[in-house]
A and B are shown apart, each in its own frame.
Chain A
Amino acid sequence: MAHHNKEVIYGLYDDETDLLKAVKEAKDLHLDIMDVYSPFPVHGLDPILGLAESRLHIAGFVYGSLGTLTAFLGMTWVFTKDWPVIFGGKPYWSVPAFIPITFELTVLFACVGMVITFYIVCGLGPGVTNVYLDDRITDDKFCIAFDTATVDGAAAKSFLTKTGAEVNHKVI
């Protein structure tokens, strides 16, 4: 994440139900939320924030299909063209024997591919320094952050106080 010298006003809530309530209220007041942080996925948050459905699973399907093809065609090539070996009197092209490996490679490709895609999309990974607002959002606090460039600072502060958050601000 690049540095923009943003001044961020954020509130820390003790409970995810408080967070959900506050996000709903902020939406009703048309306060533009910069982002919401929580130590774990909060159920029902995505639709309230109006986030689009993740397309990660489509990528997963593509990677999985790639794994299926790699395994199946790879084994087909190896056992019929490159180095045909007779195993237990079975034909070279023994489809049932290929299925378990095809399955494993499908799962492997889908998982590893999705993890890598997720890291790239989220800007995570080794060597990347991410700025985060507060240590406690990785522990037990739930956070709503406002960017003062888009939201009036005073309004954000009064909103956070009113909904029971511990208000802080930080320049990132």
Chain B
Amino acid sequence: MNQYTFSGTAKTVTIGAMIVGVVSMLLTWFVGADDLQSRFWSNFLHNGTFFLGISMMAFFFIAVCVTAYAGWASVFKRVWEAMSAYMLFGFIFMIIIALATYFHWNHLYHWADAAAVAEDPILNGKKSFLNPNWYLFGTLIIVGTWVAFGRKMRSLSLAEDNDQGVDFAKHRSMRKWSAAFLPIMGFSSAAMIWQWLMSVDAHWYSTLYAWHAAVSWFVSMICLTILLLIYLKSKGLYKQVTTEHMHDLGKFLFAFSIFWTYMWFSQFMLIWYANIGEETGYFLHRREEYPVLFYANIAVNFLIPFFVLMRNDTKRKLGSLAFVSIIVFVGHWIDFFLMIKPGVKITRDGHGHGDAAAHGADAAHGAHEAVGHGAHEVAASTFEIGYTIPGLLELGTMIGFLGLFIFVTLTALSKAPLIAKNDPYLDESLHHHT
């Protein structure tokens, strides 16, 4: 069985998830609305960047393996190729956000407000990078480049399947494209993370931020790879993907969870130690206003993979791998939540165009939704569902994006043989031993 057919339950479930997502987004727009639609747009930005990054990282990892002559993953590289097919959709979503920013349909970014920038020396100094024009055209050019590279590599990989002889010309070509992609990705992903995510807190900046966010993408990508492979194996496919391959993916999950913690902590500690007001505000605000998510982020994304996957055998068992993958995937989604929402909320409240009556209506909505959590919390603090913690609408939006991601991935996977039979490293991969 070298061919996956995408049908039945998988199709129903992913389409159902997409419907849940669309309904959640519509509800966010119409029911959970404030006058700036910040909750809708921040959910859109959150999931748009998160899943685009995951698919980009899948492609990045193919490029890394090809460049590093690493053959162990060749047997299931079609899964990564299929995941990178989502880049096109992520591209479209980011263009929508960029257009919305360009035409001021949203107010996610303080720097998009020309009047505020004019009287603010810090934002004025960042104007050459943080402006709606570059946001739109940077997204177009850079993500467009990622998509183009992804499609080129995919077409080379598919063409390689039809090779008759063994001249490896396609693979040599792939090697050039991969080597070219790595530095492009290295710099451009940082630029995209700065403008999409870090500029939500427009006054604040951190040099480690881009690495921290990129590693979050990478870890989530490994989680989804593990889960997809376990699913495909449960369907009786990919028998050639053995415990050894899963072990190596588990090692990547383990190692990059620690690397993520290293990034997170390095960023935190330097800012904590230097204690410069304009830098510390970022973490102080999160620790004071979002204490549960702030500490849960570290606990879930570091302690669980670290202690569960430390042993050899937990990395080799599908059950423990799936357990950690699901938890860490949600954990990194929350990490992105914590990167985006506080800044969006400050921007919304600080620069609200709406009048007091509109805000009053918002508060009523918030109270109504938070009934299950106890109304006193709403009254006592700045607690606001959808900002302080992810609400049901946020989860629904995430499920929708995840559904689309899986749908696109499985569709792409069903369009080609599961194993790239002419990959020069296939034999090595089939006999992989750790």
Contact = CB atoms under 8 A, between A and B. Distances in A.
Interface stretch (B267-275, B333-341, B395-403): B267-275
Contacts of A43: 433
A96 B268 contact: yes
B262 to A, nearest CB: 9
Contacts of B269: 96-97, 99-100
A61 interface: yes
A50 interface: no
Interface in A52-98: 53, 57, 61, 88-90, 96-97
Q: Which of A57, A89, A96, A99 has the most CB of B within 10 A?
A: A96
B265 interface: yes
B310 interface: yes
A44 interface: yes
A129 B39 CA distance: 73
A53 B275 CA distance: 49
Contact of A96 (B273, B310, B312, B433): B273
Contacts of A90: 273
B272 A89 contact: no
Nearest to A61: B310
Is the contact region of chain B dominated by helix, strand, or loop, or is it mixed? helix
B355 to A, nearest CB: 42
B310 A44 contact: no
Contacts of B273: 88, 90, 96-97
Contact of A99 (B265, B275, B310): B265
A88 B268 CA distance: 16
Contacts of B275: 88-89
B251 to A, nearest CB: 14
Contacts of A89: 275
Nearest to B433: A43
A57 B312 CA distance: 10
B103 to A, nearest CB: 43
Nearest to B272: A96
Interface string B247-288: 000000000000000000100110011010000000000000
A90 B272 CA distance: 9
A140 B433 CA distance: 23
A77 to B, nearest CB: 22
Contacts of B312: 53, 57
A22 to B, nearest CB: 19
A135 B368 CA distance: 81
B325 to A, nearest CB: 23
Nearest to B311: A57
A44 B275 CA distance: 53
B286 to A, nearest CB: 14
Contacts of A100: 269
A43 B244 CA distance: 13
B428 to A, nearest CB: 13
Contacts of A44: 433
Interface string A20-44: 0000000000000000000000011
A88 B275 CA distance: 9
Contacts of B265: 96, 99
Interface of B: 265, 268-269, 272-273, 275, 310, 312, 433
Given A53-B312, A88-B275, 17 more contacts: A43-B433, A44-B433, A57-B312, A61-B310, A88-B273, A89-B275, A90-B273, A96-B265, A96-B268, A96-B269, A96-B272, A96-B273, A97-B269, A97-B273, A99-B265, A99-B269, A100-B269
9 contacts: A44-B433, A57-B312, A88-B275, A96-B269, A97-B269, A97-B273, A99-B265, A99-B269, A100-B269
